[in-house]
Structure 1
Amino acid sequence: MKVCFFAHSSKTYKNGAALSLINIANEMADRGIEVIIILPNKNIQYPITNRRVKCITIPALSMRTRIDDFSITNKLKEKIKKIYNWFSKQKAISILKKEKPNIIHINGLDTSVGAEAAISLDIPYVWHIRQLLEEDFGMRLHDKSKIYKLLNRANSVIAISKTVKEKFEKILNIDLTIIYNGIPLENYMISEKNSFSANTVNILLAGRILEQKGQLDAVKAMNHLVKTGTKNIFLTIAGQVEDNGYANRIKEYIIEHRLNGYIEIIDHINDLRQLRKKCDIGLICSKKEAFGRVTIETMVSRMLVIGANTGGTLEIIKDNENGLLYHEGDYLSLANKIKYAIENKNEMKSIIDRGYKSALENYSISKVVDQIIDIYDSIQK
């Protein structure tokens, strides 16, 4: 079998969708499957470990745009992107004729290049929806109606959670298959760790810094806790800034409320394990996660997950079983959950153990690839 993935456009390969594709490609190649990855950005190279995976760059422009931008300039950009991507499609068709893949697998809602090339060459294609877009990124699609029509023509559409499935089944009026994301658990596991053992409770919020990820809610929760007497806490916010205005609001709030001794903001780092070894709690404050790769990483790092009760987080975390849930957007609810965790450390250690075990049982990359190959086999019969 030979599979060709079309990667989505991004500034880095460190986001959840790109990392998931890398994990799947390496696992498939380890099983003897030939894999090609079409990359849309020549400046981004995926760290592929298996030589069976061939990466080819076909420059293409993302059809995502800010949800609130309907300016004339943005409409002009849309027209330019369509013309540019038409040439990308022609190049993709030329390469696919030479490579002759059995399946095309499109990773994320981004462009129609992969689907149009597949239709032109009569190659079956699978579309993997990994984002809600409006709800989790504050983004929408240029030429949305065209992309949705191509989604309807896909041989199979995969959703990474019930939340994604429910949204797009209503829009597309077709059945989607749920395959929860998996991760190479061994890369994130911390098998031995004594959480909540130090005097200071260390908290981590990892992820891209933009309003949909809810970092300001966490900062406000910290302010409430400190001002009401809970001072043995420290929050680290780690992530790439994608909304400078929002990041500045966070920094101004920290300065205004004199929280510098309780909160730090650091850039994204590739391996969070060293930081996670020192942390007791991991926060998931997103307004609505499509799934939540970071949630799984946190669980296998033997940290207590405290997450917002929406989207994919709600599907992974069962309150008081393998983590804690708070009311999304309500920083007082989040503060109360953090305080409860601090005051009930022994109970939290049991919840951490259950979270660790449930992540190992349900979210391996091997299990994900098994399910994807089942879809490929059903398409080719």
Structure 2
Amino acid sequence: MKNKNILEVCLSPDLGGLELYMSNCSKYLSKEFNVYNAISKNSKLENYFKNEKNIFILKRKSSFSLFLALKLAKFIDEKRIDIIHLHWTKDIPNVVFAKKLSKRKPKIIQTRHMTMTRFKNDFYHKFLYKNIDTIICVTKALQEQVNKFIPKDIRPRTKLLYLGAKDEKLLNQEEIESFKEKLQVKNSFMVGLIGRINEFKGQYLLIEAMKLLKEKKLNIKAYIIGHAMSEEYLEKLKQKVIKYELEEQVLFVGFTKEPSKFMQACDVVLMTSKNETFGLVTIEAMRNGTAVIASNSGGVLEIIDDEKTGLLFENQNYEDLALKIEKLYKDDFLREKLAYLGQKKAEEQFDSEKQFKKLNTLFETI
């Protein structure tokens, strides 16, 4: 018999690593617990819960709504929820007030995906954080930030738990060639940048780097894969591509449900974010057996050992990014070595099955 009732909460309207992690948590934890899910109406997560029975859809209009908190509190009591597991930082006020308004007073566990940059020592934040039982931090750096910025007397206990990537089915050479044919890669060196299209993710750095690489007459094609968070930003990127006459070298693919296919087809996968808290795409690419080049900032520093399991380029420096791409373009042996050792490290330290088992154990003890 399943002895605990868990409510997974993510009212974010977007669809990225954070939201998909919530969906994966729900699937994995439901093996051992009774899991319910609260998501926002018309959010992109709805597609991932289409056939779920234990789904609660809420209308979210602002960071805090008393009406929403009351509805959540009622649901908590009806389903006898023991633990609320939230993922999106903006959900904290609604979840905390729902806990206070409920009769059951469930434990709150937050998996924190975003960096913390300022002190939470005002009355409002003290009220919120003293009602959270545990903050799961996805990197050591993030755990240090939480310990630094939340006063000790109201700080929830912190646990380090890296995100994980699942073991992907590897395509054979024929399947990869067929996929590349559809993309019209031909005999070009293929570079991929996968993730939400917004300025923070740094797609513009790749375009600037590609301009330099084209000037050197290197046969490279770059594929930008992901959903556009801002049509205005996407248009700026496309105009930059036209301005630099890179229409044949830089291609926009849009959102894909098969990112692992792209990763395996690529010679190199990039992570160009300004300061990524973790960098899930990085470990996914490593697990798919592809060499990675990433910005030397944020959680990536806990994933990549420079020149061993991947390459690091100077944060926000597109000239250095271009040099690192060129390095792997010219050195097949190094690229294959980085891909092999990167895959090995990702299997050992960032396997989703291992990480979810740790999460499961944590929920059993709360």
1:124 is aligned, of 107, 110, 134, to 107
* 1:289 Cα deviation after fit: 0.7
* 1:124 Cα deviation after fit: 1.1
SS at the partner of 1:47? helix
2:257 is aligned, of 266, 270, 292, to 270
Q: Which amino acid aligns with 2:32?
A: G
SS at the partner of 1:153? coil
* 1:249 Cα deviation after fit: 2.2
SS at the partner of 1:185? coil
The aligned residue for residue 104 of structure 1 is 84
The aligned residue for residue 67 of structure 1 is none
TM-score, scaled relative to structure 2: 0.86
The aligned residue for residue 28 of structure 1 is 29
| Contiguous gaps of at least 5 residues in structure 1 | 64-81, 136-140
Identical aligned residues as a percent: 23
Q: Which amino acid aligns with 1:225?
A: L
Question: In 2, distance between residues paired with 1:50 and 1:305?
Answer: 36
Question: In 1, distance between residues paired with 2:126 and 2:112?
Answer: 12
Q: Which amino acid aligns with 2:286?
A: M
Matched-pair contact (CA < 8 Å) for 1:9–1:41: no
Question: In 1, distance between residues paired with 2:232 and 2:51?
Answer: 40
* 1:148 Cα deviation after fit: 5.9
Question: In 1, distance between residues paired with 2:286 and 2:127?
Answer: 38
Question: In 2, distance between residues paired with 1:199 and 1:62?
Answer: 50
Runs of 4+ aligned structure 1 residues displaced above 4 Å come to 48-51, 191-195
2:158 is aligned, of 176, 181, 185, to 176
Q: Which amino acid aligns with 1:89?
A: A
Q: Is it true that 1:6 corresponds to 2:13 in the alignment?
A: no
Change (3 A) 1:200 1:22: same
Matched-pair contact (CA < 8 Å) for 2:73–2:98: yes
Give the number of equivalent residue pairs: 344
* 1:107 Cα deviation after fit: 1.4
Question: In 2, distance between residues paired with 1:61 and 1:171?
Answer: 28
Question: In 2, distance between residues paired with 1:251 and 1:346?
Answer: 34
Q: Which amino acid aligns with 2:78?
A: K
Matched-pair contact (CA < 8 Å) for 2:11–2:39: yes
The aligned residue for residue 181 of structure 2 is none
1:349 is aligned, of 328, 333, 336, to 336
Matched-pair contact (CA < 8 Å) for 1:62–1:110: no
Residues 367-378 of structure 1 mapped to structure 2, 5 A cutoff: 367-378=354-365
The aligned residue for residue 272 of structure 2 is 285
SS at the partner of 1:38? strand
* 1:145 Cα deviation after fit: 6.6
Task: Let me know the Cα RMSD of the aligned residues.
Answer: 2.6
Change (3 A) 1:128 1:145: farther
Question: In 1, distance between residues paired with 2:239 and 2:225?
Answer: 17
* 1:46 Cα deviation after fit: 4.7
SS at the partner of 1:295? helix
Deviates more, 1:97-106 or 1:167-176: 167-176
Change (3 A) 1:43 1:161: closer
Q: Which amino acid aligns with 2:38?
A: I
Change (3 A) 1:362 1:258: same
The aligned residue for residue 316 of structure 2 is 329
Instruction: Identify the structure with bigger relative contact order (alpha carbons < 8 Å, sequence gap 6+).
Output: 1
Residues 7-86 of structure 1 mapped to structure 2, 5 A cutoff: 7-11=10-14, 14-29=15-30, 31-44=31-44, 45-48=46-49, 54-63=54-63, 82=64, 85-86=65-66
Deviates more, 1:291-300 or 1:325-334: 291-300
Question: In 2, distance between residues paired with 1:338 and 1:346?
Answer: 14
Q: Which amino acid aligns with 1:125?
A: I
The aligned residue for residue 281 of structure 2 is 294
Residues 124-143 of structure 1 mapped to structure 2, 5 A cutoff: 124-132=107-115
Question: In 2, distance between residues paired with 1:191 and 1:363?
Answer: 21
Matched-pair contact (CA < 8 Å) for 2:40–2:59: yes
Q: Which amino acid aligns with 2:323?
A: N
Question: In 2, distance between residues paired with 1:300 and 1:190?
Answer: 10
Change (3 A) 1:48 1:185: farther
1:312 is aligned, of 273, 289, 299, to 299
* 1:370 Cα deviation after fit: 2.2
Question: In 1, distance between residues paired with 2:357 and 2:161?
Answer: 10
SS at the partner of 2:196? coil
Question: In 2, distance between residues paired with 1:190 and 1:145?
Answer: 52
The Cα offsets for residues 74-125 of structure 1, whole Å up to 9 and x where unpaired, read as: xxxxxxxx4xx11001111111111002211111201211122123332111
Q: Is it true that 1:87 corresponds to 2:67 in the alignment?
A: yes
* 1:146 Cα deviation after fit: 3.2
Change (3 A) 1:236 1:245: same
Q: Which amino acid aligns with 2:95?
A: G
SS at the partner of 2:207? helix
* 1:47 Cα deviation after fit: 2.0
The aligned residue for residue 69 of structure 1 is none
The aligned residue for residue 193 of structure 2 is 205
Q: Which amino acid aligns with 1:25?
A: S
SS at the partner of 1:360? helix
SS at the partner of 2:48? coil
Q: Which amino acid aligns with 2:141?
A: T
Q: Which amino acid aligns with 1:128?
A: T
SS at the partner of 1:182? coil
Matched-pair contact (CA < 8 Å) for 2:41–2:57: yes
Matched-pair contact (CA < 8 Å) for 1:3–1:103: yes
